Amino acid sequence: MLLFGALALTQPGAWREVFAAAALACLLWLAYSAVLRLHYGPDRFTVTAGPWRRGVDLHRLTQVSYRRSGRSAVVVLRDATGASLPVDLRRFGSIAQWAPLILAAAERTHARVDPAARTALERSARAERPYLP
């Protein structure tokens, strides 16, 4: 007998409950993705998901790094307060507007910028779409 938590999958109708739980998890993930928003300005760079907020201070930026996972590319921003913000290049639009803000803030604060992050941000800003090195 195969157990899934406290649910015995040999019981009639048990697979329907497992399917319903998986469908609910997918709906929650889609809802989370739908409310994910990027807010940026000359001082702060923030990502919000409903009531949750995560951001970095662009005047205290210390590092811009690059991470690639499968088909997505992520630029990770870190500031002097220890806050970090992963920003998926493919998830948010208007990259031609916010990519130069990150590069200008990094230059202004003498932040360490990975070569791959610099290339991705510069080429994405010129092409107005995400570039994945």
| Percent of the chain residues topping a pLDDT of 70 | 78
Residue 47 has pLDDT above 60, yes or no: yes
| 119 plus 55 within the same structural domain | yes
| 56 plus 104 within the same structural domain | yes
| 60 plus 118 within the same structural domain | yes
pLDDT on residue 89: 85
* Domain-embedded: residue 132: no
Q: Which residue has the higher pLDDT, 94 or 122?
A: 122
| 80 plus 28 within the same structural domain | no
* Domain-embedded: residue 133: no
| 49 plus 85 within the same structural domain | yes
For residue 4, the SS3 value is: strand
| 41 plus 28 within the same structural domain | no
pLDDT on residue 73: 86
CB 13 within 8 A of CB 5: no
Q: Which residue has the higher pLDDT, 130 or 98?
A: 98
The enclosing domain of 51 has a CATH number of 2.30.29
pLDDT on residue 81: 94
* Domain-embedded: residue 120: yes
Cα–Cα distance for residue pair 31/28, rounded to 1 Å? 5
Residue 33 has pLDDT above 70, yes or no: no
Mean of the pLDDT values across residues 59-85? Answer: 91
Band (pLDDT 50/70/90 cuts) for residue 118 is very high
E-state strands within the chain: 3-4, 7-8, 36-40, 44-49, 52-57, 61-69, 72-79, 84-88, 112-113
| 42 plus 4 within the same structural domain | no
Give residue 17's domain range: 1-34
| 42 plus 105 within the same structural domain | yes
Whole-number average pLDDT of the chain: 82
State the total domains in the chain. 2
CB 116 within 8 A of CB 75: no
| 83 plus 20 within the same structural domain | no
| 113 plus 57 within the same structural domain | yes
Which tokens go with 132? 């994945």
Residue 76 has pLDDT above 60, yes or no: yes
